[in-house]
Amino acid sequence: MTAPVQLRVALAQVDTRVGDLAGNADLVVGWTRRAADDAAHLVVFPEMTLTGYPPEDLVLRESFARASEHALVDLAARLAAEGLGDTAVVVGYLAHTEGSGPAPVDRVPTDADDVPGDANPRRGAPRNAAALLHGGVVVARYYKRHLPNYGVFDEARYFVPGTELPVVRLHGVDVALTICEDLWVEGGPCGVAGQAGVDLVVSPNASPYERAKDDSRLPLVQRRAAEAHAPVVYCNQVGGQDELVFDGDSLVVGADGGLLARAPQFVEHLLTVDLALDPAAVPERRAGRIGPMTVTRHVVSDAPVAGYEPRPGTVAEPLGDCEEVWRALVLGLRDFIDKNGMPSVVLGMSGGIDSALVAALAVDALGPDRVVGVGLPSKWSSEHSLSDAADSAQRLGMHYSVVPIAPMVKAYEQAVELSGVAAENLQARVRGTLLMGLSNQHGHLLLATSNKSEVAVGYSTLYGDAAGGFAPIKDVLKTLVWDLARWRNAHARERGEVEPIPQDSIDKPPSAELAPGQQDSDSLPSYEELDAVITDYVDRDLGMAELLERGHDPEVVARVLRLVDVAEFKRRQSAPGTKISLKAFGRDRRLPVTNRWRESLPSVREGAAQ
């Protein structure tokens, strides 16, 4: 019986910065040193680590792609120079393949093309790539085969897919390289790896967070492990990038589907796992053309590592739903502020639940000294709103001041006659102007406090409460706002800390307080009804008939859809905010502003036909 071959693999779950080639290279060297100190033989980094992900239109600049390739070669040499050349490193980067430039748009595709129907006809174009570095050189390069082109992904716009599957023999272990979306495709590179015969599949990833996504990752990786007949190493990045946040949640699955190790979410982490691989379990090892790909084989070392005492893998416990969302929002906000070099944030404090929640998120993300709250009462602001805003700031230990806006609103009203909604919105716009002034004066970034429910139906004022450079709860429905507030207070109680959000802000009926006795329920259905319709209409793209089939009230549906449809022009102007849902407003949902299509109630004839 053949003795098992051992290999210690490290997954470096790191937070990169888009465009920071030097900084990201430093990150790779630092974490490789940690992996080497832990006696790892192979360390895997996330997708496009050197460039950061997603680099978007930066990839269209040949200068950036060339710089990425030079950085990769320099990184290999640097690792060896710093005594890390014996540790194999898999790192993602941006490649630029040689070629003669764009192909004619009317050219007939041939069998030599990368993927039939490829949306990107360019040759000599950017590639989403990963490389294995060892001994100061680039041993093998892999170009991502399957390019996602849905949701937040536009990879068919940028990249040309690859056709080769490199397999690298490292200490007697045959390691196949794949990248992210390749795992989501049945019969893709993992299937080719299974036919070729490999001992291990590694997959650098940049998989953005959304609620409950970790529930689908493990079964997915288990299916690919079964297809490859080999363990799969899934290393995901962590951190915020504009509207996206990445949760890490890296994992290793055995060939039998067993979970061997899993990293915690929302933190940088080095996850190590000891593998014992049986070479005899691979009956045949092939190269050459297999299905749509060509398998190439590269040898670093045939000799297995000396035997050592393996350690059990660690499996992080998954977070609960509210804690997971909270951590995502905090990390998304922190990285947006810090990666853009902003010193602090400012927000308007109304005493309501939304501003109280945003303030708590900001303090958790940045610390109280970097958060400035401003109370901006008008003549319609209630005493409890003023006291709740002050209470919120005091609980959080943040900076807080009050600037009454009634005299300024009165000056406007004396200059121009406004009534109804125009007069109400004037108050919000005065607040927005003052907050932007403070932002300019002191260098704070203004945080918008509107939630997804309000943004969906247009219940935020352009250049008023919608003003800001970042909107932390833009993708958080109102019902979830309350859930998060209750969870955060309960979390504080469990830790013996002061509850950060006043109970009055949670309990009182929501109101913009732009008119006497105003409440949200005056012009909107209950938030339970509203959020249920928004989830089905916005996130799931269901039409009128499907919404009614799901049991929504016809009058509520018709009203909500009308509000959502006419507010598209406002959403186009809103600040970016962290994505947590299946479909966030922004890069996720791109409807035309000028659009005559409207969902309508099914006719009697249509109903009879059903």
- State the catalytic residues: 47, 144, 180
**5-13 vs 42-44, strand pairing mode:** parallel
Could you give the C-alpha distances from 320 to 211, 221, 317, 349, in angstroms and in order?
A: 10, 22, 9, 29
Residue from 356, 593, 577 nearest 455 by CA: 577
Helix 321-339 × helix 353-366 angle, to 10°: 60
Cα separation, 351 vs 453, whole angstroms: 19
Torsion of CA 236, 241, 243, 245, to 10 degrees: 30
Cα separation, 104 vs 107, whole angstroms: 5
Residue 304 has what DSSP assignment?
Answer: P
Residue 209: phi and psi, rounded to 5, are -75, 140
CA 259 to chain centre: 24
Residue 92: phi and psi, rounded to 5, are -85, 150
Cα separation, 319 vs 235, whole angstroms: 18
Cβ-proximal residues to 420 (8 Å cutoff; 6+ apart), any chain: none
CA 11 to chain centre: 19
Asked if residue 404 has a cis previous peptide bond (ω within 30° of 0), the answer is: no
Cα separation, 6 vs 306, whole angstroms: 8
Cα separation, 66 vs 94, whole angstroms: 8
Cα separation, 543 vs 546, whole angstroms: 5
Cα separation, 95 vs 92, whole angstroms: 9
Alpha-helix runs per DSSP H in 268-401: 321-339, 353-366, 383-396
Cα separation, 454 vs 523, whole angstroms: 12
Cα separation, 165 vs 293, whole angstroms: 7
